[in-house]
């Protein structure tokens, strides 16, 4: 699918108008996020995110939301967002409104979205305002940057990570749009992906978010997904640790025995791997490449890392003590 400039049209499609909320990253925006589920949280609430799970969203809504330090990936995304949107606008034409506030679904008040931008055809002779844009044939646009291009399929399709699909569907649910575009920065150029509105999927998202809001109102946290890679970080951040002690269950005692056994196994495996690698390197000597009998090659490369200052942090260490201290 090639993206050329959209043809102008005089047709105005009636739209369900969302409620307009606070501007992004303002105190009012953080406060409003506590009482709504944002589009970027949709996949996690539905249990379909690799990076978060329902329990984490529940905990997030229960505490005072405030700005958090950005990860490298988040910082990169914010730095390149404007450039990505500009390149997208150059490709498709039309009018692009880059600054959008939080938008809230007019009926499902718990469902919100803050698109990076909103695109519309060139229907206006003057600088558009938000209400004019939302009443037109507008679509939400969400700019992305990534280092993992194997997660994206052919340009013009919706072959993108599941988290982005769910985010796009919620943005369409809130804005009433038939499509959401995701320009993705790649090698200093933009590839454009499109997600078409799926009302059945939007219904599933709405039901999951409705259940989450009911849990929040009833102080009923969802069960942790113990297999999720983020669960350990979630649990360890849930409690303010005191000096108190607690009698633990037989089940926890058995789980700790399994932890100890797996840790010993991990140590043995790591030692065995290092020993085998050492023998292979010894046979390679000063050669950079070792040709294997099966036709493959072992390639040795020295990686140099620049010294860097590590920011202060804290972590939880859980250890075993044979004797109790009173």
DSSP secondary structure of 231-249: HHHHHHTS----S---PPP
Please state, in angstroms and rounded to a whole number, the distance separating the CA atoms of residues 281 and 287.
9
For residue 165, tell me if it sits in a domain: yes
Give the chain's end-to-end CA distance (angstroms, integer): 71
Q: How many domains does the chain have?
A: 2
Residues 121 and 162 in one domain: yes
Check which CATH number belongs to the domain holding 37 and give it.
3.90.320.10
Do residue 219 and residue 119 come from a single domain? yes
User: Is pLDDT at 201 greater than 60 in this prediction?
Assistant: yes
Query: Can you tell me which residue has the tokens 């009012």?
Result: 28
Is 90 exceeded by the pLDDT of residue 310? no
Burial of 53 (0-12, 13-18, 19+ CB in 10 A): buried
Question: Which is it for strands 139-141 and 117-120: parallel, antiparallel or unpaired?
Answer: antiparallel
Residue after which a domain boundary falls, among 197, 232, 267: 232
Is 88 contained in some domain?
Answer: yes
pLDDT at residue number 275: 94
Q: Is residue 9 part of a domain?
A: no
| Least confident window among 7-16, 37-46, 274-283 | 7-16
Instruction: Specify whether 76 is located in the same domain as 215.
Output: yes
Q: Is 199 helix (H, G, I), strand (E, B) or coil?
A: helix
Which two tokens mark 201? Answer: 């999927």
Q: Is residue 90 part of a domain?
A: yes
Residues of the chain with pLDDT > 90, as a percent, come to: 44
From the list 156, 222, 150, the residue with the least C-alpha distance to 183 is 156
pTM: 0.76
pLDDT attached to residue 157: 92
Question: Pairing between strand 179-186 and 144-145?
Answer: parallel
Is residue 148 assigned to a domain? yes
Residue predicted with more confidence, 16 or 188: 188
**Is there a single domain that holds both residue 258 and residue 175?**
no
54 within 8 A of 45, measured Cβ to Cβ: yes
In this structure, what token pair is assigned to residue 6? 């959209």
| Claim to verify: residue 77 and residue 154 sit in the same structural domain | yes
302 in a structural domain: no
pLDDT of 76? 65
Could you tell me if residue 2 is inside a domain?
A: no
User: Binning pLDDT at 50, 70 and 90, where does residue 135 land?
Assistant: low
pLDDT of residue 245: 86
What band does 137 get if pLDDT is binned at 50, 70 and 90? Answer: confident
262 with 160, same domain: the answer is: no
pLDDT of residue 1: 36
> Of 186, 206, 232, which closes a domain?
232
Q: What range defines the domain where residue 75 resides?
A: 19-232
Confidence band of 64 (pLDDT split at 50, 70, 90): low
Mean pLDDT of 41-61: 93
Same domain, 87 and 147: yes
Q: Where are the alpha helices (DSSP H) in 218-291?
A: 231-236, 250-284
Q: Answer yes or no: is pLDDT of 225 > 80.
A: yes
Q: Ranked by mean pLDDT, which of 158-167, 234-243, 244-253, 305-314 comes out on top?
A: 158-167
Assess whether 216 and 76 both reside in one domain: yes
pLDDT of residue 10: 31
Residue 133's pLDDT is what? Answer: 62
Question: Looking at the structure, do residues 163 and 215 belong to the same domain, yes or no?
Answer: yes
pLDDT for 188 beyond 60: yes
Specify the pLDDT at position 191. Answer: 93
Does 325 reside within a domain?
A: no
Residues 96 and 42 in one domain: yes
Both 99 and 23 in one domain: the answer is yes
Provide DSSP, 96-121: EE-----EE-SS-TTBEE--SEEEE-
Which stretches of 109-260 are assigned E, i.e. beta strand?
A: 112-113, 117-120, 139-141, 144-145, 179-186, 189-196
User: Are residue 86 and residue 203 in the same domain, yes or no?
Assistant: yes
Considering the chain, what is the average pLDDT of its residues? 83
Assign 125 to helix, strand or coil: coil
The whole-angstrom separation of Cα 145 and Cα 233 is: 25
């Amino acid at each position: 699918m090639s993206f050329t400039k959209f043809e102008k049209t005089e047709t105005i499609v009636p739209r369900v108008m969302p409620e307009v909320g606070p501007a992004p990253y303002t105190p009012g925006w953080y406060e409003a996020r506590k009482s709504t589920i944002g589009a970027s949280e949709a996949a996690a609430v539905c249990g379909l995110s690799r990076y978060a799970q329902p329990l984490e969203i529940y905990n997030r809504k229960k505490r005072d939301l405030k700005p958090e330090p950005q990860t490298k990936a988040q910082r990169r995304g914010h730095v390149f967002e404007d450039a990505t949107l500009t390149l997208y606008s150059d490709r498709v034409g039309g009018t692009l409104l880059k600054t959008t506030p939080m938008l809230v679904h007019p009926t499902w008040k718990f469902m919100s979205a803050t698109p990076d931008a909103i695109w519309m055809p060139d229907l206006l002779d003057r600088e558009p305002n938000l209400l004019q844009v939302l009443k037109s044939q507008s679509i939400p646009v969400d700019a992305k940057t990534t280092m993992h291009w194997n997660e994206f399929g052919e340009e013009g399709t919706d072959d993108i990570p599941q988290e982005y699909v769910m985010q796009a569907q919620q943005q369409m649910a809130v804005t009433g749009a038939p499509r959401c575009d995701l320009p993705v920065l790649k090698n200093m150029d933009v590839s454009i992906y499109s997600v078409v509105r799926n009302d059945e999927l939007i219904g599933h998202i709405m039901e999951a978010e409705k259940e989450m809001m009911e849990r929040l109102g009833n102080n009923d946290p969802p069960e942790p997904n113990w297999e999720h890679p983020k669960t350990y970080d979630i649990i360890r951040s849930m409690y303010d640790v005191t000096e108190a002690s607690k009698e633990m269950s037989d089940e926890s005692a058995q789980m700790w025995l399994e932890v100890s056994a797996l840790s010993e196994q991990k140590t043995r495996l790591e030692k065995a791997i290092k020993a085998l690698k050492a023998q292979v390197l010894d046979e390679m000597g000063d050669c950079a490449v070792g040709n294997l009998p099966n036709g493959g090659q072992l390639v040795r490369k020295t990686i140099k890392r620049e010294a860097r200052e590590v920011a202060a942090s804290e972590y939880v260490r859980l250890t075993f003590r044979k004797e109790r201290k009173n």
